[in-house]
Each structure stands twice: as structure tokens, then as C-alpha cells.
């Protein structure tokens, strides 16, 4: 694979620096990388509770703001394959510093956007920088830490990245309450400036002089395929394109993915080797992640909209209502490992996928007269089973990757996660727009049936994914072999 050589030993890294970094520099570098990962994941969810406020400020409808979320996550999916190669070619310090700078400039521009189109374009720029923060930072850690300290160092970096998306909705709602939606992006600016300075001073630079030629043909095929399917699914909502054009985009997307498969069999150094799909657990886990995460990606977008648009919650109140989801999610992670060891991956994933789908579909029963305690229990139950789903899917996908496939498999897995998050919001937005179009003279007061139908569809899509996990062998339950301690929720 033509990305970073993450599977190599840290001791064998090719550094351009002449002196070994000091202990202080290493500690500061860990904080820099951890902060960058935190900001990247935070910005994937912090906007969700602020979308109605953004819509009001920009003169748009709240139910047509999904492109703000899609632009960021889809851009990160597109940029993941190239980030490691750039770090190898140009050096980890230069690329990481540039990533922080681009992310910060994108954040500043987002805060000053005057139209939805401007905001979407600036979110793309923000996503370009955000996409490189984790893989390049992780590579920098790999190259300067000795083997015995690498896993603890990477675990330290991963923890803030797990916290970011959990607190994002609440923090976003709080900022809207005490200031305005612009501060969701402005808080990144001082952090970004400090990050650029600290990276320049403390992060050692390293590069790989033997970097292979980048697989540009394969990369273009993947980009066109991902963007085409996103535009096809969201086209009628955002671009008012005709059904024939949507069908053509879907055919183009499918053609690009097939063409990449043919290209990868002949290319000397493809971005992602097809040999990865010979590993049964990886293939099933990757496909299951793609479809299951469509529903999981839709929910953080749909729930705050439901609470604010149809149920009259403020942005801050909607953010607070997301806390049970985060708390239950963090509490349930320990349980899933014991369940897997006792019942195996297939039983756990098949049953839990159905439970996640039912939890999502249960929001179709939401009403303005629902007791608060019941709503909190409903949110907590969804958060618990959804977190268990993430943990089980992630560990299944990575457990059988050998050392040689760990780097390529991790990158492809990260791409699929971000693509699924983008598609989740795309599908949710398209369904919500379709169902609101069936309501005569739709207003906030009578939009609840459209949300009900959307939650039901998302739940059914997720529950149907259990068929994919049913293809696993019944006896897969051995301890997890983590290819990387970082687990993206």
C-alpha cells in the first residue's frame, strides 16, 4: 500500500532529525497529537445541535442543513488514503503542522460564512485538515517512540478522540446558548494557533526516502465513486437533480468501484490491496460496519433535530439530552468483551444489531407527551447497545489482520467508517425530506410524523445488517488481536 509504513518497527524509522527527541519533547508531542485528534472528532458531532440555529442565521430550513455534516465527514473519508503518503514524502512535522493550519483556517472561515454554500465549502477545507491529524500524528508517534512504549503512547492519544464525539452535541448546544453557533468553530482558532507553534518546536520530523509512487489512478477511482454515491443519495434534497441523473450517478459510483477492483489486481502498489478481503472476519466486519454505521451515523443528526424542530427543545437542552447516550455508551463497553468470550462474535453481533435497529425504530413512537424519564431511558438504551455494536464490529474487523496487513487494513477501515458516517446523514436527510414532502404545508409543529417514518426506516436498515454478521462462523470468540489500540466510535 502506498501510504505510511506504519507496520514497520519504530526503531527502524527514517528520521531527518539528527538528534533524538528529549523526554519533554515526547510528552508535549503526545499532547499535541491527542489534542489534534480530539478537535477532529469533536467537530464531527459538535455542529449537530447547532444546525437549527445555523439555519435561522443563514436563512435556510433546519431540515436541509445535512450538507454541513456530510461535507466534513465525506472529505475526511476522501483524504484518508493520501495522508500517510504525504507524511512519508514531505515529513510528519511539516504535514501535521499544515493539517492544523488548514483545519484552523477552515474553522475561522466557517465562523464567518454568510451562506449555506459558503459554510459547506469551508467545512470541506476544515475536513481536509482534520483528515490528516490522526493518521499523520499516529505515524509521528510510531517513529519516535521505542517499541515497548508505542502502545501506551498510542492509547494516550486515542482517549481524547473517544471523548470528542461524545461531548460534542452538549458542548455545541451550550455554545449556542451562551454565545452563538459561530463559536463552535471559533474555539478551534486559539487551539490551532498554539498547535502550529508547538508542533514546529517540539515534534521531530521524519520521512521515508523510499516512499513508493502514489497510486493516483486508484485514488481517483475511489474519490469519484464515494462522491458520486453521496451526490446520488442526497441529490434530490440538495441539488434538485432528476431521478435519471441520480441513477446515472449510482451507476458511475458502482463502475468506479468495480474499476478500482480490476485496477488493484494489476497495480504493483495499490492504495488498498484486495488480499485484505481474503480474511473472512475482515470482509464481514468491513461490510457490516458500512451498513450498520449508516444508521449509527444518522442518529446523532436526527435526534437533536427531532428534539429542537418537533419537540421545542433549545439547542442547550437538546445537547443535555444527548448525555445519557454518551454515559451509557461508555458504561457498556466493558460488557461486550465478556459477552463475546461467552457467546462468540456471531451471536453477539446478530442479536445486538437487531437490538440497535429496534432502539432506533423506537424513536418513531416519540411524542410531545412522552414523560422525560422515559425519553432519557430510551436515549440511554440506544447509547448502550450502539456502543456495544461499535466495539464488537471494530474488534472483529481488525482481529485477524497480520502485521503486514495492519497498516492497509486500518486505513481502509478508517475510510469506511467516515464514508458510512457521511452516508448515514445523507440517507437520513433524504428520507426526512421525502417524508416531509408528503405533509401538506409542513411546519415545525406537524413535522413529527416525518421524523417517525425516518427513524423507522433507519432502524430497519440497521436491523437488516444482522444478516451480514450471520455469515460469521459460530465459534469465533478468541481474545481480540488489536491491530491498533485506537478505536473510533
Residue ending a domain, choose from 164, 181, 205: 205
- The closest of 219, 257, 287 to 81, measured between CA atoms, is 219
- The verdict on 246 and 279 lying in the same domain is no
Domain count, the chain: 3
Q: Is the same domain home to 250 and 142?
A: no
Element (H, E) at 186: helix 183-186
C-alpha grid cell for residue 64? Answer: 436541509
Entry pTM: 0.84
R_g over Cα of the chain: 22
Least confident span in 76-90, 160-174, 226-240, 316-330:
226-240
Whether residue 27 lies inside any domain: the answer is yes
Same domain, residue pair 444 and 459: yes
Out of 61-65, 180-184, 194-198, least confident range = 61-65
Residue 173 lies in a domain: yes
Tell me, yes or no, whether 210 lies in a domain.
no
Residue 211 covered by a domain? no
Q: Is 88 in the same domain as 233?
A: no
Flag whether 403 is in a domain. Answer: yes
> φ, ψ for residue 208 (rounded to 5)?
-110, 105
The Cα 66–Cα 57 span in angstroms is 15
User: Is residue 36's pLDDT more than 60?
Assistant: yes
- Residue 339 covered by a domain: yes
The label of the residue with cell 470468540 reads: 477
Cβ-in-10-Å burial (0-12, 13-18, 19+) of 236 comes to middle
The residue among 309, 350, 355 whose CA lies nearest residue 332 is 355
Q: Are 92 and 177 members of one domain?
A: yes
Return the residue matching grid coordinates 499532547.
31
Residue 471 has pLDDT above 60, yes or no: yes
Which helix or strand (DSSP H or E) is residue 145 part of?
none
Q: Which range of residues forms the domain containing residue 305?
A: 273-489
pLDDT tens column, 89-148: 888 899 999 999 999 999 999 999 999 999 999 999 999 999 888 888 888 887 788 777
User: Within this chain, do residues 36 and 147 fall inside the same structural domain, yes or no?
Assistant: yes
pLDDT in tens, 391-408: 889 888 878 876 556 667
**Integer Cα distance of 115 and 220 in angstroms:** 30
Do 258 and 336 reside in the same domain of the chain? no
**382 lies in some domain:** yes
CA dihedral (170, 102, 187, 178) in degrees, to 10, reads -60
Which residue did the predictor score with more confidence, 273 or 305? Answer: 305
Last residue of some domain: 232, 251, 268?
268
Residue 330 and residue 233 in one domain: no
How far apart (Å, rounded) are the C-alpha atoms in residues 310 and 235? 25
Does 77 share its domain with 156? yes
In order of 115, 165, 312, 322, 376, the CA distances from 382 in angstroms are 34, 16, 22, 11, 10
Give the contacts of 242 (CB within 8 A, at least 6 positions apart).
none
Residues 52 and 178 in one domain: yes
CB 120 within 8 A of CB 76: no
At 443, the pLDDT band (50, 70, 90 cuts) reads low
| pLDDT value, residue 427 | 92
Instruction: Say what the pLDDT of residue 403 is.
Output: 56
Cell of 198: 508547538
Instruction: State the Cα–Cα distance between residues 461 and 401, nearest whole angstrom.
Output: 28
Looking at 155, 184, 205, the residue that finishes a domain is: 205
392 and 337 Cβ atoms separated by less than 8 Å: no
Q: 285 with 264, same domain?
A: no
Q: Are residues 237 and 223 both part of a single domain?
A: yes
Inter-axis angle of helices 116-144 and 403-436, nearest 10: 160
**In this structure, what CATH number is given to the domain that contains residue 163?**
1.20.1250.20
Whether residue 346 has pLDDT greater than 60:
yes
Query: 402-427: per-residue pLDDT in tens?
Result: 655 666 787 888 889 889 999 999 99
Q: For residue 172, what pLDDT is reported?
A: 93
Residue 440 lies in a domain: yes
* pLDDT attached to residue 104: 96
Amino acid at each position: 500500500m502506498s501510504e505510511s509504513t506504519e507496520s514497520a518497527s519504530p526503531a527502524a524509522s527514517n528520521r531527518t532529525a539528527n538528534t533524538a527527541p528529549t523526554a519533554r519533547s515526547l510528552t508535549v508531542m503526545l499532547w499535541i497529537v491527542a489534542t489534534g485528534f480530539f478537535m477532529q472528532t469533536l467537530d464531527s458531532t459538535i455542529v449537530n445541535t447547532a444546525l437549527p440555529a445555523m439555519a435561522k442565521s443563514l436563512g435556510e430550513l433546519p431540515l436541509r442543513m445535512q450538507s454541513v455534516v456530510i461535507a466534513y465527514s465525506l472529505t475526511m473519508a476522501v483524504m484518508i488514503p493520501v495522508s500517510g503518503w504525504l507524511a512519508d514524502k514531505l515529513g510528519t512535522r511539516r504535514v501535521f503542522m499544515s493539517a492544523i493550519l488548514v483545519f484552523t483556517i477552515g474553522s475561522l472561515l466557517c465562523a464567518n460564512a454568510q451562506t449555506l454554500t459558503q459554510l459547506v465549502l469551508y467545512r470541506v477545507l476544515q475536513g481536509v485538515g482534520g483528515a490528516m491529524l490522526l493518521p499523520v500524528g499516529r505515524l509521528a508517534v510510531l517513529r519516535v517512540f521505542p517499541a515497548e512504549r508505542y502502545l501506551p503512547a498510542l492509547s494516550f492519544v486515542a482517549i481524547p478522540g473517544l471523548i470528542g464525539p461524545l461531548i460534542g452535541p452538549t458542548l455545541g448546544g451550550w455554545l449556542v446558548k451562551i454565545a452563538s453557533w459561530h463559536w463552535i468553530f471559533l474555539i478551534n482558532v486559539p487551539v490551532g494557533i498554539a498547535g502550529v507553534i508547538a508542533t514546529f518546536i517540539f515534534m521531530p520530523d521524519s520521512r521515508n526516502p523510499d516512499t513508493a509512487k502514489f497510486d493516483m489512478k486508484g485514488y481517483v477511482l475511489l474519490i469519484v465513486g464515494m462522491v458520486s454515491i453521496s451526490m446520488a443519495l442526497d441529490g434530490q434534497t440538495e441539488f434538485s437533480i432528476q431521478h435519471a441523473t441520480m441513477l446515472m450517478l449510482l451507476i458511475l459510483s458502482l463502475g468506479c468501484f468495480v474499476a478500482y477492483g480490476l485496477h488493484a489486481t494489476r497495480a504493483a502498489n495499490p492504495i488498498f490491496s484486495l488480499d485484505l478481503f481474503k480474511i473472512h472476519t475482515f470482509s464481514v466486519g468491513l461490510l457490516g460496519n458500512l451498513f450498520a454505521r449508516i444508521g449509527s451515523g444518522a442518529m446523532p443528526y436526527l435526534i437533536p433535530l427531532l428534539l429542537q424542530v418537533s419537540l421545542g427543545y433549545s439547542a442547550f437542552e437538546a445537547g443535555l439530552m444527548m448525555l445519557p447516550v454518551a454515559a451509557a455508551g461508555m458504561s457498556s463497553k466493558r460488557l461486550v468483551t465478556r459477552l463475546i468470550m461467552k457467546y462468540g462474535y456471531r451471536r453477539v453481533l446478530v442479536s445486538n444489531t437487531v437490538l440497535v435497529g429496534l432502539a432506533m425504530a423506537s424513536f418513531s413512537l416519540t411524542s410531545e407527551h412522552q414523560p422525560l424519564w422515559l425519553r432519557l431511558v430510551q436515549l440511554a438504551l440506544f447509547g448502550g447497545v450502539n456502543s456495544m455494536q461499535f466495539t464488537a464490529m471494530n474488534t472483529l474487523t481488525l482481529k485477524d489482520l497480520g502485521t503486514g496487513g495492519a497498516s492497509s487494513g486500518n486505513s481502509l477501515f478508517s475510510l469506511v467508517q467516515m464514508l458510512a458516517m457521511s452516508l448515514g446523514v445523507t440517507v437520513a436527510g433524504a428520507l426526512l425530506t421525502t417524508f416531509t414532502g408528503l405533509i401538506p404545508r409542513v411546519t415545525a409543529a406537524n413535522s413529527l410524523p416525518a421524523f417517525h417514518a425516518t427513524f423507522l426506516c433507519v432502524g430497519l436498515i440497521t436491523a437488516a445488517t444482522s444478516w451480514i454478521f450471520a455469515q460469521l462462523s459460530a465459534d469465533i470468540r478468541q481474545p481480540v488481536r488489536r491491530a491498533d489500540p485506537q478505536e473510533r466510535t
